[in-house]
Amino acid sequence: MKVTINKNSGFCFGVVNAIKIAEIELEKSGKLFCLGDIVHNAIEVKRLAEKGLIIIDYEKFKKLKNTKVLIRAHGEPPETYRIAGEKNIELIDASCIVVLNLQKKIKNEYEKIKNMGGQIVIYGKKDHPEIIGLNGQINNNAIILESPKDIDKIDFKKQISLFAQTTKSIETFYKLKDEIKSKIENNNFIFHNSICRQVANRASEFKEFAIKHDVLIFVSGKESSNGKFLFGVCKDVNPNTYFVSEKSEIKNEWLIGKSDVGICGATSTPRWLMEEVAEFIEKF
């Protein structure tokens, strides 16, 4: 059986950097707190936990003092930095540079339009850590749209500046832009394409990859928004596409009579996990 791992699958550079920073610190101290899961992949989180990474939530964070805490690639709101300063917590900042740049853009745009009654609109998942960090830059005054169905939250008589969570579908984002433009009553609309290029390019590449194989195994953590989106992209073009978080979830009937299997992964999927899945399938 031929098994091929998509060469551009797996961790984006932001996640690679965050894990590298965590591992360097863990080698020195053997213990490090991380505010939220370092990556939306339970198996990778478990691997790092065995090295001494301790995942904490915001309530636990507020109770810490005189220690080190890692900020993951998703970024954080200003409130996190304020609390750290009060508690003498050293923040090891692994925020993705793409996310940090977007935080600055949203903050600067808000300063420009707030006195005119303008609206910052962000397409994304409202409880996603990146969205929490982005909205925190403007005192949580953004209008969050989880889907085009939410556009009634917008006042179309006022100026609109539209942004997106960096890992969202670029196709849906453009559809949202067009729908807003069709409803707006003036020309006060600014569109900011803030989708990460590394993520946006994967969708079209994965479509081509999925079509080429008898079966497509998509490896991702179940909590990964990016994983759910990219799995859907593959499933749309290849009905023999299956979602797994680890090799034990693979079912024999998916592979019976098949000779060519492709493997893809989300931006939060480690390469070693995809290789484990590939090795398991090859033995089948």
Report the alpha-carbon distance of residue 22 to residue 280 in Å, rounded.
29
Report the alpha-carbon distance of residue 209 to residue 275 in Å, rounded.
17
Any residues with CB less than 8 A from the CB of 27 and at least 6 apart, and which?
none
Any residues with CB less than 8 A from the CB of 65 and at least 6 apart, and which?
87, 88, 89
Compute CA 123 distance to the chain's CA centroid, rounded to the nearest angstrom: 13
Which tokens is 126 given?
């409202």
Report the alpha-carbon distance of residue 22 to residue 86 in Å, rounded.
23
Angle (CA) 91 143 175, round 5°: 110
Report the alpha-carbon distance of residue 80 to residue 16 in Å, rounded.
23
Compute CA 253 distance to the chain's CA centroid, rounded to the nearest angstrom: 31
Report the alpha-carbon distance of residue 29 to residue 213 in Å, rounded.
45
Annotated active-site positions, please? 130
